[in-house]
Structures are given as C-alpha cells and as structure tokens.
Structure 1
Amino acid sequence: MGSFRTLEMTAIQNISKAVFVGLCRKLGTSQIVAMRRDMMDINEIVENQVTTSDECSIMVSVSYREGFRLKESDIDFMFWPNNTRVIWELSQTQYYNTHRQTLILGDCSDSPPGFTLLYLLSPTMDKDIQRACVRINNIHYISSSKYRQMICAASINQSIQHGPCASGTIGTTEFDNAPCFVSDFWPPTASSWIDRCHSWPQTHVVDDIVKNGCHFVAIGHKLGRHEDHEWRISFSLAEQKLAFSMNHCQFLTYGLLKLFITDMVNNGVSEDNKLLCSYHMKTAVFWAIQQNTIPQWCPQNLLGCFWVCFKLILKWVYEGVCPNFFIPENNMFLSKIHGDKQHQVFIRLYGLYEKGLAFLLQCPSFRTYIFNFLHNLRLSICTDEHTLISEVDFDENLYDEILRIDTIRKLDIQRCMKYLQTIEQMINLHLLTQYQAIMLQKLTADVLQQTAFILYMETYTHLNKLSYRVDKMFCYMLKLASKFGCITDMMYRAMYYYKTLRYTEALSIIEKVVKLAQPYVMYWYNEDTEMYIEAVGGQSWSTKMRQAVAWIILLNNKIHYISELLLEQQSAMENGWSFLCIPSFVLLYMLEILCYRHIDTIRAQTALDDLQALVHYDQGHFIPLLLRDISWQILGICQQVTGNLQAALYSYQQSLRQEPMQNIQTATQMRIQEIGQWNSTDI
C-alpha cells in the first residue's frame, strides 16, 4: 500500500473521487462556495456605494474572497481613497475632474517588471499622500515605505507592519490591511496577457477584468533601484474573477495545493523561512488551466490535476523562475528563492515527487478519506454534490457566513438613510440571487435597529423627552427590523422598552424570545438537527431566520443602548472594537433581571439564579468560549445592581481571567474599584 503506482487506473480514479468528496466537505461544495461569494459580493457592493468620495473603498481579497474558509488562513483587506486615481498616460486625465480627484501617473520605466513608481500629477488635500511624497529628479513621487508606515501607525488592534500590510488580530482571526491606490485602466505592461487568453478565461471574463483595472500595494521590489518608493502592481481583483470562472474541480485542485503547502511544506517552518506560499500555488493552477496541460478537470482526475500542478511548481523551483500570470517577466522567485534556499526547497519537493502520489497519505487534511477507500478498493464513490452536504450542514454554512459579515462601518443618520436607499435600489433591480437577498434582509434589520437608536439619542438630547409620534416611529422601526431579522433581533425592542422605562412591555418581548431555548433553534451550531428539519426543513431561509435562527447580540459601541453597559462599550471602543458581542441568553437574562427588579424582586432573583447557573456551568453550548469575558462581566453587573457586592467582585475577577476577546478589562477594573470604594464606605 506504500505507493499508488501499484493500483489499477480505476482505483486511482476512485481515490480521486474520494479526495474530491473529502475536499467538498472540508472546503465546500460548489453551491456553498457560490453562496459565500454571493454574500460577500452584495455586502461589498452596498458598503462601497454608501461610502462618500472623501472616504475609502474596501475590498476583501485573496483566498477568503475566493470562497475558502480555512481556519489557518487570515483575512486580507485592500482599501484605497475614492478621490484618488492612477493613470498610465496623460491623455487619460480627460476622464476625471482634476478639481475633485487627485491624479497619479504610473511610471514603470525605471522599475522591475510588475512594479512602478507613482508620480503625483495634481495637488492633493490628502495629508497622508502629502507626507509620503519624496523628490526624485525634481519630481514628486509617493514613497510606498512612507505611506505604508503612516497607515500602519494609524491602524488599531496593535497592528504590526508585515510586507505591504498592517497585520493584527481580532479575537482569534488574523487580518492584513493593505493600503493601496486604484487605477481604472489595465496596465500596459500586462497587455500581453489579453492576447494570451485564447481558451481561458472566456472573452467576457477578460473584458470584465480589463475594464476594472488594477491596484497598487505599498511595497517595492527588493532588487529594484527604488525599493523604498516603488509600488507593486496588484491583480487581486483580476485573480478573484479568474477564481470565480474556475469549475469546482479546478477550485478544489487549488484548495488541495493550499493544504499541501500548509501541511507538508510549511508545517513547523518559521514565518521567515516559508518560501513557497499559496499565491505560487494559485499561479500554477492559472497557468495549467490556460495552457491546456490537463485535458479533463473532473472528480475522477482530481489527483492527476494536482500532480500536473505539483510538477509545474517543482520545475519552477528547479529553474528558479516563477512567472507572474499577468506579467510573466516578473519572476516571483527572484528575490526569495535562489542559491542555497532554492536548493533546499527543491530537494524537499523532489523527495516528495519520488514517492509519487503516495506522499498525500502523510497529509493530515485528507488522508482519512484515502485510507477509508484503500480498505475497500471496490467501494463506489458518489460525487454528486447534492448528496454530500445535508440541509442542516448547508444552513450552518449560511449561518456562519452571515455571522462573519461586518456591517455598517461609520455611523450617522444620513449614512443609515443611504444604506436603506441603496438596499431598496438593489431589491428593485430583481437581479439578486437567493443568498444576496438573504444578506440584504439581514442588512436591513441591522440598519433599522441602529437607525432607531441613533434617532432616539439625537431626539432625546434635543427635546429631553420623546413625543408620542416619535416614540411610535422608533417602536415601528424596531418591530420591522425583527420581522426582517431572526429571533434574537426582538431583543433590541426589549432594550428600547427598558431604556424608556416600560418594563412590562420589555418583559413581554422577552417572553416571545424565550423560544430561543427550543432545541431546534440554530444558535452557535448547537441545534438538534432532527428537530430543526422537522420544524423548518425545506422552507426558505427567510422563514428559517424568523422562526429557528438566533445570533449573538451585537451592540454598536457608538450607540447607547442601556446605561448598565455603557462602561463596557466605552472600554471596548477605546481599544479598537466597533461592537460589543454578547451571547443572546446572557443579555436575555440581564434584561429580565433589570426589568423585574422594578416590579417583582422575587422573579428578579430567579432570573439572576438562572444567569448565574448559565455562566458558571455552560460548556460552550449557549456561551461561546470567546465570549465568556463579557458573560462573567454581565453576571457581575447584575449582582452589583441587586446588592450582592461580594458575588459581583468574584464575577469581575473571573471576567479578567478569561480570554480578553473584547478588551473590556478597563471597565472591569473600574467596577472592581467601585466595589472597593463602597466596601470601605460601609466599614
């Protein structure tokens, strides 16, 4: 069993099918990948249409945007100023209003292939661009190193500079923020790529790619004459469109190569010594598809597809040349893989090559699928994707995607109105996929909730009281939001009623939300799958959202929801967090305690006992492990407001011992000091 070479061709094809099935379950079926892309698309479109001309557009790039959701992968963001454009020829200035837009000229004449200097053509009000300018031969160029350093210094969450990015961590997720500029024009140095596209991609894809131009990220070539000032031409958007045009077998081959690099080449290797990366793997797949080196990209030939791409990478390492897909003259190994390092990488890859495809048995990501088949070579493998993922599995993937989407970057009433107008326009186009419609439904609920609370803050500040008509409008907006959203979106109405001293109304809402405790409700992937199917199986996701789906509660830290959590919101915001994330059950019990303490102290104590039991004994079922800090904190707040200071002190201390997910430690320490002052006063 040591080598696949001894197996018949039929067995090899079936092993390929087994790996295909395993990768579909690990990386996603074509339907799941399409859903991820659709939802990212619609969120990105809405966000960028709402941004103003003096703000930045943002694009999620690389593998996350392509549809992968690997735990070890970070999330890459590219952002660029809307009022700045790069052109390649002076004649292109005719397409812009130079009084409103800053124009930059790309100059590749003195840079290595794939890189350029950026010459500032017109005056700019952008302070970062002004400070990043350097003079070369009496011409103002924008220095990539200076620009990168300024943007990184202004980033949040203790970001560090990593290549062209400001890198950091939010919770357990690593991110890379890449400041860049954008051009609406395709770079002349990549014009040969257009002529090369005979068989792949299709003409309409090529036209779309060229029409959308390129980006420039803030890093120069290590062997360039102007390394500190050059910018790398980025084809991230073009690569995204190419990935979207792949069939699913091509996409999974790319995924298999990513897993191979992570598990077998870079495993245990320090960051500085990781010479091969997933970008090289993607480039190999692009070249293999375009050059027609693989006649059939299909499940039974998946391992053959992988092997062709692997040999291409081995050839590149041997020759020390990895040609960029868009600008082949740009050798991506030139400054990284050469000399002794090149030899070491080649020896390692060639050792795997000599073993044949059998080396995949060492790869932990999918060897189980191969072993299972090798124990029964006659096993029939079904590759029909509709049979691979159950309805519940798909719904969990959809649930996960909605949870991942970060909505509404900046907050004011004009922005909220623009969100609603944009969403309405998109709905009226009738061009949405079902997943994009779901995303718009979720966005609508979020915007309505935040709009109601913002209006409340502004109205109450100016009038010091609410008129009947204004209050009725807020209540209607929150009620409408709960109809668009899921079960837990009713909690925002309950908070509003509590905030406006209507405790009975708040409790009536809480009673409706109590069905959150039903075992069929999808909450943090803990639903009873059989009961879930029995309750809502086969229904639209819109119906499922309203009847059987619950999220964690997100409180925008710029909005004052209830006074008892202001300290925590301020602490989180000062440390770079836009939202406070609270487990739904924890907030439900908190509101119940706060309301009942005004009308029924016995029931308030019962609710406090329930909250205490939940926080003390829950094992990640209702309280995600990363949200235990805020859960202990809320328990302490409830104990403190009901007069049990010793118990509150213990809860705050427990909060400090948890993973500091939301940076609320400042608030915790202030509350501990407050209890200490009360105790000393009592003495």
Structure 2
Amino acid sequence: MDSPRITPGIETGIQHISESVFVGLCRTVGTSQQVAMRRDVTDINEMVINKATKSHMNMRMWSGSYREGFRMKGSDVDFMCWFNNHPVIWDLSQTQFYNVHRHSLILSVSSESPPGFTLLQLLQPRASNRVISALVTMNGGRYISSSKYREITCSAVVPNSTVHGPCGSGAIGGLLEYDTAQCFVCDFWPPSASSWIDRCHTWPQPQVVRDIVRSGCHFVAIGHKLGNHESNEWRISFSLAEQKLVYSMNHCQFLTYGLLKLFLKEVINNGLGENEKLLCSYHMKTAVFWTIQQNTIPNWCPQNLLKCFWYCFKLILKWVYEGVCPNFFIPENNMFLSNIHGEAQNRLFVRLFGFYEKGLASLLHSPSLRSYITNVLYNPRLSICTDEHTLISETEFDKEMFSEMFARNSIDSSDLYLNMKYLNTIEQLIFSPLTQCQVFMLQVFTTSFLQSAAFTLQNMYSNTTENKLMYIADRMSCDMLKLTAKFGCISDRLYTAMYYYKTLRYTEALSVIEMTKVNLAQPYVMYDETVDTERYTEAVGGQSWSTKLRHAVAWNIKLDHRIIYINELMTEQMVSSQNHASVLLIPPLVVLHMLEFLCYRHIDTMRAQAALNDLQVLVHHDQGVYVDVGLRDISWQILGICQQISGNLQAALYSYQQSLTQDPLHEIQSATLMRIHELG
C-alpha cells in the first residue's frame, strides 16, 4: 500500500501530474489568495454581527465548507447559533466565572454517555422559553432533551426548515443548501479532549493550540445512536477548533482536503443511493488532520500533492478495514461505530480497495480533474507553472471578491438602534488588526447601514405633525445618503434617487438618475459579475478596491422587507416577506428606468413614456447581461406595475403573466395575481 501510481508498475511522472492537478484544484477550489479573501469576508461579517449583539441575543458562527473557504458546486452553508447567557460548564467550580443572576448555567454530565457525547443539566430555574420547553426529568435533575430542543428550534433561524441530524435544513431560493444548528456554548476546553493538547508537538503551532483551547467548544442537539440516552444526549462539537485548524493549513494541505472532497463526491459516492453513502466530508477532513499531525509527509507542496492525497486515502482505507475512525480531538469516539460495520463495512471496503488497486488512475473518474491528468499523460513535456498569481487575473479576483462581499452584506439593519450599534461596532473595528480585505468590507457594510438608517428614519417621521422633527430627520437621512455616494458602488446612488422620489423631490431624483445613467453606461463597468475584462483592466487595473468600487462596479439593489423604499413596491415586499423571503433583489437598470418613469410622470409625460419604453426593451430583450435570470420575476413585475400606472393594461397583463412563468426567487406570485385581479 505504499506508492501512488497511475497504473500498476508505472511510477514516473507523478510529480508532473501532481503539479497539473494542483493547478486544476486552484481553479476548482481556489488559489490561496481567493481562499483567504473568502475567509476574511466571512470572518468580518460574523465579527460585526456578534460584537453588535453581544448581550443575550442569538450569537452566530458560520461553519462547514463555506466557512473553510470552499465554493465548489454543492458546498452548503452551515451556521451555528446559541444564546450567550446559557453557558455550559464542566464542573461546579466553574460557576465562579459567571454572574448567576445574568446567566442560566448548564452542567455537562458525561458519565453515562459514550465518548464525545454528554447530557446537559439545567442548574437554575430561570432559562429561555425554548430551553424550558425542552426539559425532561432524569435522576432527580432537569435535563435539556436534544430531540425536543431540535424539534423546537428547527425553524428558529430559517422558517420551514426540516430536521436533518442536529440541524434545521433547507434551500435558499431553491438553490443554496443550508444547515442551521441551534446549540450551546462552553468557554472551557473539554476534559475528555485534554490528550489532544499533548499530541500537538509539530502541528498545529503552539499559538494556534492556545487559541483553540481558549475558544472552548459547542454542543449540538444529537445523541449517539448506540447510547443509553440517545434522545436526550448532546454531541460535543469542535467546529470552531476545526475551522482554526483548517485556517492553519498551508495551501497544499487545504487542496489535499479539497481533492479528497471531490474524490468522495465524484468517485467514491458516484452512483450510490443516499443510504449507501457511508463516508462523508467530515471523515475526509479528519484523515487530513491526522495525516498532518502524525508528520507522515514532511513536505506538503504542489509536486507532492498526489502523494499527500494517497497517504490520506490509505488512512481512510485502513479505518474502513478496521471499522474504526477516531475523532481527531477525542480518539475514543469511533465515528464509524453507528453506521460502518458488518455487511455495509465490507461493501465499502471492497469498493475503496477497488479504487486503491487502480491507483491514481481512479482520479480519472473525476470530471473536475480528468483533463488535468490526461493533459500531462498525453504531453509529458508540457510545462506547468504552479505560481498561483498566474492562475487568476486581477479582474477575475475582483469579480469574485465583489460577489462574495455583496453576498455577505446581508446583515439585518432595519432596526434604527441596532443599525447605530453596527455603525459603532465598525468604528471600533477600524482600529483592530484587520486585513486589507476586511477593512474594505467594513466600507461596504457602512454604506449598507447608512442606507438602511436613512430610510428607517424617514419611515419613522413621515407621518409626524412635528415639522421640526421631520425636517431634522430628513436632513440626517440626506446626509447619510450623501456619505454612501462617497463609499458605495455606482448603483448605490439609486438609493438616493429612491429617497428623493419617496419624499416627492422629483427633480433632485432625476438629477441623480441622469448622473448614474452616465456612469452605468461606461463600457468598463462590472455589472453583477458581467464585465469586459480588457476595458475594466484598462480603466481601473492596479487601482485600490475602493476606487474600483466607486467608479467601475454596479450590483443589484437590495430592498429589505422591513423598510419601505418605494410605495409602489409595498405589495411585493409584503407578500415576499409573508413567504419568508427577506429581501427583493432588483437589477440596477430596472430600478433606474422605473424611477425615471415614476418621476417624469409628474414632470414630463413624453419623457415618462420614453423611460417606460427603455424599461420594456431591457426586460423583453436582455440576455442575462443586465437582468439576471434569477431576477426576472421581479423585473417583469416592475415592468407590469409601470405599464399599469401608465394605463396600458393589456401590456401590464402580459408582463404579470411573464412574471408568473419565471423562477419564483422572490415568492411574489400572490402579489402578481392580486395585480392581475386589479386589472379586471
């Protein structure tokens, strides 16, 4: 079982193929710069949320593949939530670190549970309603039942989620899969994992070990299938520790982990039914952890990538043969115990051993990697450059970075007080040791928070009879929106136009619209990931991200359902909100032409019709360049609304009917049917 090979007996060229696969993985998984950027954006998002909501509100932590930096097709979004005032302790002596009047303490009782699992005993009568509802009485004490808690909290984060393991699961927009785990936190490292600290001689580094131990652990709501108290037990989760370990990997180690994930999905599990997929990504990650720590491979580099993969694969094969997969932190916890044994274990071993006998030729079954291997096999003298800086252009990196930032710029900021806390948090974070990417992300956050605050303030004082209060609120809102024009991207200026329209200042709104129209028409503008690379590079190549954002980037307009931006879209926001969507995402040019039409209605009917014609041409004929396919439901809806306002009821009916045939991303079908009914 020693040597990786393409075919039995042929050992030459492995390093060359490894370099080619390294390049392929950099393009599939990401370069080290891309992975670092993804982590930075996610980390600062979490930092802002948790620092601003640090009292007793729900704390949140991204976990899983997305947090680790993967963006491969099928990567799901996992996050864990917990109450900050319900800490778990390992023994009663640790109560001294908490204010018992402000914290509801929970004691971990693991004497009757398998390794890695525990019971959670509530020590005080005071606790949140969801905890009280999940209590059971055992051995004279009150314990939190994991099964009850899981059922109660399944849809706490995202409505209509279904129970999947310890999580509430579902898909956002029918596309992005998510798992949300409502859990408990412990500030102390588990005594049962103390041996892990002693094992860390070479990896991870001492400062990483200290950071991990200081960060404690979590408890997720699932028991051991073979335990005595399965429905009441909780699993000790090392998600935060694992995230820190993955962050501490070098890029070759991370790509080896990515290669194992691809191999699992595209080769090992290919053609198997869901019940037959016994190995999971967590087993792959565990194998990489053990391989790194045991120092099996002295040099993790592009030339050794396939050798690294082979050692990890052999370790997994050994585990399956023995029926033992030791948890990295608590080795006594055999993660195969409940499902990989008997006949299922034998079938899995036979399958894996078949891939082992083929050697690295097994990788040819992977669609993601096949071409990178065959290119070298057919062209053994092919020159391969593994310099990551040559594998992705500046424009490609910018496109992904802006996409990542705008996707993460979704913090709830409809509450004015919370909005101010977010802004105050950003002010404090600016002086923290942050990466350049994280500082830039704070700029994006600031723009979003100021926009939300401006409209929230206007909504609060729009009906007041106190002219002075309304005047002060308006001045503050205008000042905040003027600031966003300095910080934000081109399309952010449309929020100012929306505000002016909402406050009946049509001339001012049209002035902003005209300037924005000129900016959006520039051939180098990156338009929601659509960009002319050559012209973008000529215009802003080599300049700061802030300059690029302000002069060469446009993104979709986001309308939070708890804030009224345009009265004409209140019905759509209300219906979408009732169907558990949180925002409307609208293409910038659709918003621009809509506002142009609505404003000119009050000033110049001919120009209003011209704006409506522009909107109609855009929605009818765009090929996914300016109107993303996923946003066609709201785009057709807006066209119909404008046509209905203009009196062209037949055209409006056609537009509404088209809206109903699109992908229902925004869940506005009921609003569309209501508007069709209004047409008579």
Aligned to 2:669: 665
Residues 157, 170 of structure 1: 8 Å contact kept: no
Partner residue, 1:149: 151
CA distance in 1, matches of 2:156, 2:210: 37
CA offsets, 1:482-519, max 9 Å, x none? 21111111010000000011111111111121121322
Shift of 1:124: 2.2
Indicate whether 1:54 and 2:77 are aligned. no
1:157 touches 1:169 (CA, 8 Å); kept in 2? Answer: no
- 1:205 pairs, out of 204, 208, 221, with 208
Cα deviation code 1:173-213 (max 9, x no counterpart): 11111110000000111111011111110111000000000
What one-letter code is carried by the residue in structure 1 that aligns with 2:441?
M
After TM superposition, give the deviation of residue 111 of structure 1 in Å. 0.3
Report what 1:378 is aligned to. Answer: 381
Candidates 38, 46, 53, aligned match of 1:44: 46
Q: So what's the TM-score if we normalise by structure 2?
A: 0.97
Q: Matched residue of 1:232: which SS?
A: strand
**Distance between the aligned counterparts of 2:589 and 2:10, measured in 1?**
55
Partners of 1:8 and 1:665 in 2: how far apart? 61
Other-structure match for 1:422: 425
C-alpha separation in 2, matches of 1:48 and 1:264: 39
The answer to whether the Cα contact below 8 Å between 2:90 and 2:190 also exists between their aligned partners in 1 is yes
Show the counterpart of 1:340.
Answer: 343
User: Matched residue of 1:80: which SS?
Assistant: strand
Out of 437, 440, 461, the position equivalent to 2:439 is 437
Contact 1:186 1:210 in 2 (8 A): yes
Give the one of 324, 327, 332 matched to 2:327: 324
Report deviation, 1:577.
1.6
- Residue 192 of structure 2 is matched in structure 1 by 189
Mean Cα deviation higher: 227-236 or 641-650: 641-650
> Once the two structures are superposed, what CA deviation does each residue of 1:437-479 show, in whole Å capped at 9, x if it has no partner?
1110000000000011111111223337575443232111101
**Secondary structure of the corresponding residue to residue 140 of structure 1:** strand
Instruction: Indicate which of 470, 475, 481 corresponds to 1:472.
Output: 475
- Do the aligned residues in 1 keep the contact of 2:444 with 2:487 (CA within 8 Å)? yes
Matched, 1:570 2:574: yes
Deviations 1:619-643 (Å, cap 9, x if unpaired)?
2111111111111111111111111
**Which residue number in structure 1 is paired with residue 357 of structure 2?**
354
Measure the CA separation in 1 of the matches of 2:614 and 2:192: 66
Task: Find the counterpart in structure 2 of residue 35 from structure 1.
Answer: 37
Farther-moved stretch of structure 1 (251-260 vs 157-166): 157-166
Please report how far the alpha carbon of residue 565 of structure 1 lies from its aligned counterpart in structure 2 after TM superposition.
0.5
Q: Is the 8 A contact 1:157 1:168 kept in 2?
A: no
TM-score, normalising length from structure 1? 0.97
Query: Paired residue for 1:71, among 47, 70, 73?
Result: 73
Question: 1:641 aligned to 642, 645, 663, which one?
Answer: 645
* Partner residue, 1:368: 371
Moved more, 451-460 or 107-116: 451-460
How many angstroms apart in 2 are the aligned matches of 1:6 and 1:388?
33
Q: 2:631 aligns with which of 627, 637, 646?
A: 627
2: CA distance, partners of 1:7 / 1:482: 62
The answer on 1:559 being equivalent to 2:526 is: no
Question: 1:8 Cα shift?
Answer: 5.3
Give, in angstroms, the shift of residue 399 of structure 1.
1.4
Q: Deviations over 1:212-248 (max 9, x none)?
A: 0000000000000000000000000000000000000
Q: Distance in 1 between matches of 2:562 and 2:470?
A: 24
RMSD of aligned residue pairs (Cα, Å): 1.3
CA–CA separation in structure 2 for the residues paired with 1:59 and 1:252:
24
* Structure 1 residue ranges, 4+ long, deviating more than 3 angstroms after superposition: 2-9, 153-157, 463-470
- Counterpart amino acid of residue 627 in structure 2: I
1:7-406 mapped onto 2 (5 Å cutoff): 7=10, 9=12, 11-154=13-156, 156-171=158-173, 172-406=175-409
Residue 123 of structure 1, CA deviation? 2.0
Matched, 1:587 2:587: no
CA contact (8 A) 1:157 1:575 kept: no
Gaps of 5+ in 2: none
3-state DSSP class of the match of 2:120?
strand
Aligned residue pairs total 673
Q: Is the 8 A contact 1:193 1:326 kept in 2?
A: yes
- Amino acid in structure 1 at the alignment position of 2:596: E
* Counterpart-to-counterpart distance in 2, 1:345 and 1:581: 45
Q: Which moved more, 1:265-274 or 1:439-448?
A: 265-274
Q: 3-state SS of the aligned residue for 1:462?
A: coil
After alignment, is 464-473 or 21-30 more displaced?
A: 464-473
User: Contact between 1:632 and 1:652, CA under 8 Å: does it hold in 2?
Assistant: yes
